[in-house]
């Protein structure tokens, strides 16, 4: 029996994985996606897509599909400091989007299929090894089927962020929680970010009249009994951390389940090898701080840069050259986010300097001066 050898196997069908598959399939490379979940599926995510994503959507050829997805137009961001002081950032001509991961990820997966990529959902990858210059990927048994092995010349890992197994020295254990709601008050087409002693998070309108509430909580400041309470009691406690958040969510009703993610680490890692044809994309390579609202767009950028550098064999160096400073910037802002007094000072200062605020926003999102 002749074993089929793919040009590329992609593990994981989040935005970075499926966008990578679409780009590489367009190059004429036979691509195979392995995904452990069955789509559509929900994820812990802010579900905010920055204006910079439109450029990648255009390169993928999906602007029309995105425009027909039912997303909510997001025109600005409003930051609420612990003191209640606010900072507003207008996105300009090219708006941002509020769209659930269930909808976005399914759209991107279907696009990869349309481009010719093969896909297997509900299949768990259990390991991979390189032998005779080829990657051998093993999968777990599924129902009545035995585990299989697949072979490819190139392996792209888009397996998402890793759980934090050991707390780093001096670091915080941050727990992510997310749920959809109906009936939030006075959002007015804005991404609303709230900072408080126990963490930070935001509200964003998405499709079908829903609002996504997603927060990152510092476990050092969350009472243990809150974690063991009901989903609504936990989220009600979160909503009471900031007066403006309390006001906006006072009449909201949860729709669907609460999603929780294990503590995880931030930063851009040095992983993968162009020489060995092993590439990490998305959160498996770097997790940027959620308050920048750039996670989904960054995943798409990883895919775009992989496609650009694929033939030159310089993906790893390109990633660190193009994105390294943005991760350093997010690290600095992360430090501020854990100090309420500092956040108040920064918000107060930036609220008086709109031009500086816009420049910092563009830098954080990798946007040139000419972009919105």
Q: What is the DSSP string of 251-311?
A: T-EEEEEEEEE--B--EE----BTTTTEEE-GGGTEE--GGGS-HHHHHHHHHHHHHHHTT
pLDDT mean over 188-198: 92
Q: What is the predicted pLDDT for the residue at 166?
A: 47
Tokens of 245: 């958040």
| Three-state secondary-structure class, residue 148 | coil
More confident residue, 335 or 193: 193
In this prediction, residues 150-157 reach a mean pLDDT of 97
pLDDT of amino acid 163: 53
Instruction: Please report the pLDDT score of residue 343 as a whole number.
Output: 78
Decide if pLDDT at 312 tops 50: yes
Report whether pLDDT(38) > 60: yes
* Between 220 and 251, the higher pLDDT residue: 251
- Decide if pLDDT at 247 tops 50: yes
If you count DSSP H runs as helices and E runs as strands, how many of each does the chain have, helices first? 11, 19
Write down the pLDDT at residue 2: 54
Tokens of 310: 């694929």
pLDDT for 169 equals 45
| Residue whose token pair is 């063991």 | 228
Structure-block tokens of residue 17: 């994985």
Inter-axis angle of helices 15-26 and 53-60, nearest 10: 40
Percentage of the residues of the chain whose pLDDT score is greater than 90: 62
- pLDDT for 367 equals 65
| Token pair of 71 as six digits | 């997303």
**Residue (of 282, 241, 239, 286) closest to 258 by Cα position:** 239
Cα angle 12-15-17, degrees, rounded to a multiple of 5: 35
Specify the higher pLDDT residue, 264 or 315.
315
Residue carrying structure tokens 């254990």? 173
User: Is pLDDT of 327 > 70?
Assistant: yes
Query: What is the C-alpha separation between 303 and 69, in angstroms, rounded?
Result: 21
Mean pLDDT calculated for residue range 148-168: 79
Spatial separation of the C-alpha atoms in residues 265 and 284, rounded to whole Å: 11
Alpha carbon 226 to chain centroid, angstroms:
26
Could you give the CA distance from residue 155 to residue 280 in angstroms, rounded to a whole number? 9
What pLDDT, on a 0 to 100 scale, did the predictor assign at position 94? 85
Q: Identify the DSSP state of 38.
A: P
pTM for the whole thing?
0.90
pLDDT of residue 288: 82
157: tokens are 């890992």
pLDDT score at 52: 92
Pairing state between β 278-280 and 149-157: parallel
More confident residue, 26 or 360: 26
173-192 mean pLDDT: 92
At residue 292, the pLDDT reads 66
Residues 142-161 have a mean pLDDT of 86
Average pLDDT over residues 108-130: 96
Give the number of other Cβ atoms within 10 Å of residue 44's Cβ. Answer: 22
How does residue 1 score in pLDDT terms, banded at 50, 70 and 90?
A: very low
- Our CA angle for 130, 143, 106, nearest 5°, is 75
């Amino acid at each position: 029996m002749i074993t089929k050898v793919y040009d590329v196997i992609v593990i994981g069908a989040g935005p970075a994985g499926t966008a990578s598959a679409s780009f590489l399939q367009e190059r004429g490379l036979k691509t195979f996606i392995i995904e452990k979940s069955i789509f559509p599926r929900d994820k812990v995510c802010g579900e905010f897509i920055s204006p910079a994503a439109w450029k990648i959507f255009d390169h993928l050829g999906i602007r029309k599909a995105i425009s027909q997805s039912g997303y909510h137009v997001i025109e600005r961001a409003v930051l609420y400091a612990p003191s209640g002081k606010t900072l507003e950032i207008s996105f300009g001509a090219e708006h941002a989007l509020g769209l659930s991961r269930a909808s976005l990820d399914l759209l991107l997966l279907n696009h990869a299929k349309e481009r010719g990529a093969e896909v297997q959902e509900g299949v768990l990858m259990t390991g991979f090894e390189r032998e005779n210059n080829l990657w051998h990927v093993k999968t777990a048994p599924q129902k009545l089927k035995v585990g299989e092995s697949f072979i490819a010349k190139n392996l792209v890992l888009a397996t998402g962020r890793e759980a934090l197994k050991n707390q780093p020295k001096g670091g915080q254990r941050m727990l992510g929680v997310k749920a959809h709601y109906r009936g939030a008050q006075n959002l007015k087409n804005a991404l609303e970010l709230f900072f408080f002693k126990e963490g930070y998070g935001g509200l964003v309108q998405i499709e079908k009249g829903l609002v996504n509430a997603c927060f990152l909580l510092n476990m050092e400041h969350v009472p243990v009994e809150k974690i063991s309470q009901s989903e609504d009691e936990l989220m009600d406690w979160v909503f009471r951390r900031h007066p403006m958040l309390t006001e906006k969510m006072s009449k909201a009703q949860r729709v669907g389940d609460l999603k929780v993610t294990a503590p995880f680490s931030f930063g851009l890692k040095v992983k993968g090898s162009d020489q060995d044809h092993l590439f990490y994309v998305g959160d498996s390579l770097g997790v940027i701080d959620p308050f920048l609202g750039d996670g989904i767009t960054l995943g798409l950028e990883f895919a775009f840069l992989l496609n650009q550098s694929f033939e030159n064999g310089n993906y790893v160096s390109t990633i660190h050259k193009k994105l390294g400073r943005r991760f350093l910037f997010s690290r600095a802002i992360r430090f501020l986010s854990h100090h309420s007094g500092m956040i108040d000072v920064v918000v107060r200062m930036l609220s008086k300097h709109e031009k500086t605020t816009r420049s910092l926003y563009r830098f954080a999102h990798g946007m040139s001066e000419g972009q919105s």
